[in-house]
A and B are shown apart, each in its own frame.
Chain A
Amino acid sequence: MADRQPTHRAAASLRRRILLILALRWTVRLAAAWCFAWGVAVLVCRAVPGMDARPLVWGLAGLAPCAAGAAALAWRRTPSPRAVRAVLDRASRSGGLVMAEAEVALGPWASRVPALAVPAVHWRLKPATLALLAAVAFVVFSFAIPQRFVEITSSRPLQVADEVAALAEQLQVLEEEQILAAEEARSLEQSLKQTAEQAAGEDPAKTWEALDHLQDAVRTAAAVAAETALGQREAAGKAEALARALAAETDGLDAATLAAAMKELGDLLEKAAKDGPPLDDAALKEALADCQAGDLATAECMQLADRLAMAGEILKARLLRLQAVNLIEIDALKLGDGWALDPADLIALLEGQGGDGMEPDLLIQAWLAGVPGRGGISRGRADAPLIQGDASSADGLEFVETVLPPPTVADLKESHLLGVTLGAPSVESGGPGSGGALAPSSAGAGGARTHRVLPKHQPAVMRYFQREGEGAGRPAASP
C-alpha cells in the first residue's frame, strides 16, 4: 500500500544489498569448493596413466553453475520484506512506525516517518576470500606441477636386483666368451635394464615374465655353447691322444696303419675345427692339411698335441666359467677327462696286442670310441662289450603238456571268516594230486590242482627250467 514511499525504496535497497552480499558470499564459497574439487580431479587425471587432464581446463566453466547456485541460495536466504522493514525501523528508531507503514494506513502519521538511511551490511570476507584464493592456487598448482611429481609410482618396487645382477653377469660372461654376438648381447642388456627400471610391485608378473624370458635366452645360448665346447673338447682330447700316439710310434707303424691314423686324426681335427674357436686357427688348419696329406711329422704331431691340449684347457675354462655363473650344469665326469684315451693302448692295439686281427682303421675307431675290443663275462673289465655268439636253434623241440595239481587253498576273494582262535587253525588235508610235476609235493594246505599248461605259457615255463638247469644242473622237466 505504500510502495512508492521512501521507506519502501529504502527497504528494497537494503534487501538488494543483503541479496548481493549473500550471493557474493555463496559464490565465493561454492567457487572455493568447486576449485578444490576441480584441482583434485586434475591431479587424479594426471596421476592415472592413460588419462588426459587437458580437457579439464573446461572446469573453469563450472564457476558459472556455482554463481547460479549461489544466487539461488542467496535468494532463499534473503530476509522477508517485513524483516527488512523491521531492520530499518530499528535503525531509524522510529518506534514501529516504519513497520506499521506496510501494514496499516498511517494517515497523518505518515508525515512523521523519519528519513531512512539504509544501514550497512557487513560481511567478514577474509576467511572466505582466503579459502577461494587457496582453492584457485590449488587449481593452478594441479595444472602446473610437473608430470613426474604427479605420476603414481609404486611405493614398493619389486625386488629383482639380485636376479638382474646375476643376469647381467651371465650376459657379460657370454659376451666375453663370444658366445653371444656383441649386438645381441647389447640388445639383451638393454632389455634387462628396461625390465629392472620398470619392475613395479603393482605388476610383478610382467617383470618376472621378462626376466624369465631373458634367463631362458641366455641359458639357451649357454647350453648350446657348452654342448659345442664339450664336443670340441672331446674331439680335441681324442685328437691329442691320437697325435701323441702317432708322435710316439710313427716310425714303428706300417704305412697303412699310419695312413689310417692320419686319416682319423684329420677327421677329428676337421670335426673339432668345424665348431670354431679355439680350434680353427691357422696352425690347426695347416696341421689338418698335413694330416689329410698324410705327411705329419713326429715333431709336428707333438706340437699339434700341445696345441690341442691348450685348446682343451681353454674350452674347459670356458665351461667352468659358464658353470660358475650358473649358466650350465655339467657333471664332473664330463668336465673331467672321463673320455681320455691312453696312447699306449692304441700303440698296443696297433702292434697286434689284442686286436684280434681287426683292420687298423677299425682298431683306431674302437680305441677312439673307448671300446677296447676285449674282455667278456669271464675276462677283462666290466665295460668289455658282450660278444654275441651263434644263435641257438629251437628246431625239433617240442613241449610236453603236463597238468599241474590244483591248489587246495580257496581263492582269497571267496574266503570268509569262520572264527577267531588263539590256537593253530585246523586245516583240512587236501586231496591227493591227480599227477604232474607237483604231484608228490604237499605244499601248503594240500595238493595242487591240475592245470593244463597252455601253449602261451610255454616260453615262460621253458625259461624257468633253463634257469633251473643252469643253477641246479637238473631241469625239472625235459622239453
Chain B
Amino acid sequence: MTDAPSLPEPDDLAGATALTDRALDQLGRLLLGQADLHRMVLVGILSRGHILLEGVPGVGKTALIRGLGRVLSLPFGRIQFTPDLMPGDILGTHILQPTATGERQMAFQPGPIFTNILLADEINRASPKTQSALLEAMQERSVTLLGQTRPLPEPFFVMASQNPIELEGTYPLPEAQLDRFLFKLRVTAGDVAVLDEIITTRRRGEPPEPTWTMSADDLARVFAVMDRVYLAKAVSRYIARLVAATHAGAAEATDLVGQYVAYGASPRAAIAMAESARASALLAGRPTVGFEDVRRVAAAVLNHRLILNYKARFDGVDAFRVVDDLLGSLDEAELDLPADVQVAREAGA
C-alpha cells in the first residue's frame, strides 16, 4: 500500500466514519463495557490485520468475535484448538469422491479456514505443527495443499484467543506467529456497573441480535477511504523511530529498553503501526494520521512483539510499561533541541 496522493473527500470520510461508528455502536450493544476494545478490534479489521485476544475465560472474547462477524455480515468460522487438532482439520483435505461417470477422483474439501473471519479459540492449545498451519494463511492469505495454492476469501481475518492462565498442556505461540498478529489485545472483565447491566439485560448471557449490519460494499467503501488516509512524513518517521527504539542499543532507546528488552520489534511492527494508525485516524474522522493515533495503537502493536529478558520477569516489568516509557521519552516532532531549550507542547503554555 502506498501513500495516497490526495486526501479522501470529506463526504467520503464522513460516510466511512459513520459506518464505523454504527459498527462500534452495534458492538457496544453486543458486548457491554468494552468500548476501547471494540475500537481497537475495528481498527485491526480496517487494517486488515489479525488480532490475538488474551483474557481469562468468560470475559467475552468469543462473543466479541462472533458479534463482529455478524455486524460486518461476514462469514464466520470457529475452530476450537485442541492438542489433537491436525493441520488438515484447519486447512481442509483431499477426499476420494465418485464422479457422475462412476469414476473416483480426489476432491478438495475446504477446511474451516476458508471463511472471512476465523475464530481460533484457545489457539495456544494446539500443537506447534497445527499452529504453523496458520502461518501461510495469515501472511499470504492463501493455503497450499498438495502443491496447489488456494486463495482465502477476501477479506480474511484471524481472530485468535488464548487463555493466559491454565498454561499446562499449552503450546506458547512462537515469535514468528505472534509477529503475524497485528494486535494483541487484553480482554478484561467489566466493572460493577457493566456486570449489573449484563445480568439485568441478558438472560443466560445471550447477546442481542444486531439491529444493523455492515454490508460487504460498505466495508469495501470503508477500506477504500482508509487507503487514502494520509500519513505525514513526520508521523512515519515517528513510527520508525519508535520501532527502532525498541531495540536495546538503539540511539533513542531508553534505559528501560536497554535493561529489559532482549529483542525489539520487527519492521512488520512498523508497517502494522502505520496501518493501524491510519485506521485510528479514520475512526476519528480525520483524513490524516496524527501523533495521537500512533500513540493510541502503539501498545497494542508492540506489546506482543517485544521479547523481554528474564530480568524483566524478575522485576515485574512488562511490555506495556516499556512501551509507555518509550512513548514518554521520544519527542514526536524530533526537534533535537538542547536540553535547556524546550518548546511548549500546547500553544499558550
Tell me if A122 and B338 are in contact (CB < 8 A). Answer: no
Tell me if B288 and A96 are in contact (CB < 8 A). Answer: yes
Tell me if B340 and A124 are in contact (CB < 8 A). Answer: yes
Tell me if A108 and B10 are in contact (CB < 8 A). Answer: yes
Tell me if B337 and A79 are in contact (CB < 8 A). Answer: yes
Binds A, one of B201-209, B306-314, B341-349: B341-349
Tell me if B340 and A119 are in contact (CB < 8 A). Answer: no
A21 at interface (Cβ–Cβ under 8 A)?
A: yes
Tell me if A122 and B342 are in contact (CB < 8 A). Answer: yes
Contact with B along A96-118 (1 / 0, CB 8 A): 11011001111111001000111
A464 at interface (Cβ–Cβ under 8 A)?
A: no
Interface of B is mostly: loop
Tell me if B344 and A120 are in contact (CB < 8 A). Answer: yes
Tell me if B343 and A82 are in contact (CB < 8 A). Answer: no
Instruction: Given A119-B347, A119-B349, A120-B349, check contact A96 B235 (CB 8 Å).
Output: yes
**Cα distance A85–B344 in the bound complex, in angstroms:** 13
Tell me if B7 and A121 are in contact (CB < 8 A). Answer: no
Give B14 Cβ to nearest chain A Cβ, in Å.
11
A89 at interface (Cβ–Cβ under 8 A)?
A: yes
The interface residues of chain B lying within 8 Å CB-to-CB of A86 are 232, 234-235, 291, 332-334
**Cα distance A120–B343 in the bound complex, in angstroms:** 6
**Cα distance A77–B338 in the bound complex, in angstroms:** 9
**Cα distance A108–B348 in the bound complex, in angstroms:** 28
The interface residues of chain B lying within 8 Å CB-to-CB of A106 are 7
Interface size on B, residues (CB 8 A): 39
Give B239 Cβ to nearest chain A Cβ, in Å.
12
Residues of B250-284 whose CB lies within 8 A of A: 281, 284
A469 at interface (Cβ–Cβ under 8 A)?
A: no
The interface residues of chain B lying within 8 Å CB-to-CB of A105 are 6-7
Query: In this complex, what residue of A is CB-closest to B3?
Result: A104
Tell me if B342 and A99 are in contact (CB < 8 A). Answer: no
Instruction: Given A25-B340, A104-B6, check contact A90 B291 (CB 8 Å).
Output: yes
Instruction: Given A79-B335, A120-B344, A121-B343, check contact A95 B293 (CB 8 Å).
Output: yes
The interface residues of chain A lying within 8 Å CB-to-CB of B343 are 14, 18, 87, 119-122
B44 at interface (Cβ–Cβ under 8 A)?
A: no
Most buried by B among A83, A100, A109: A100
Give B226 Cβ to nearest chain A Cβ, in Å.
14
**Cα distance A202–B233 in the bound complex, in angstroms:** 70
The interface residues of chain A lying within 8 Å CB-to-CB of B289 are 95-96
A259 at interface (Cβ–Cβ under 8 A)?
A: no
A303 at interface (Cβ–Cβ under 8 A)?
A: no
B290 at interface (Cβ–Cβ under 8 A)?
A: yes
- With beta carbons under 8 angstroms apart, the residue of B234, B334, B341, B349 that contacts A123 is B341
Query: In this complex, what residue of B is CB-closest to A127?
Result: B340
Extra A-B contacts (4), CB below 8 Å, given A86-B291, A105-B6: A22-B341, A90-B333, A119-B343, A121-B341
Q: Which 10 A-B pairs have the closest CB atoms?
A: A96-B288, A117-B347, A99-B232, A95-B290, A86-B333, A86-B234, A96-B290, A119-B344, A124-B340, A95-B286
- A-B residue pairs in contact (CB < 8 Å), sample of 25: A22-B341, A79-B335, A79-B336, A83-B335, A85-B234, A86-B334, A87-B335, A93-B290, A96-B235, A97-B287, A97-B288, A99-B233, A103-B230, A108-B9, A109-B287, A112-B10, A117-B348, A119-B344, A119-B345, A120-B343, A120-B344, A120-B349, A121-B343, A123-B341, A124-B340
B interface, CB within 8 angstroms of A: 4-7, 9-10, 230-235, 281, 284, 286-293, 332-338, 340-349
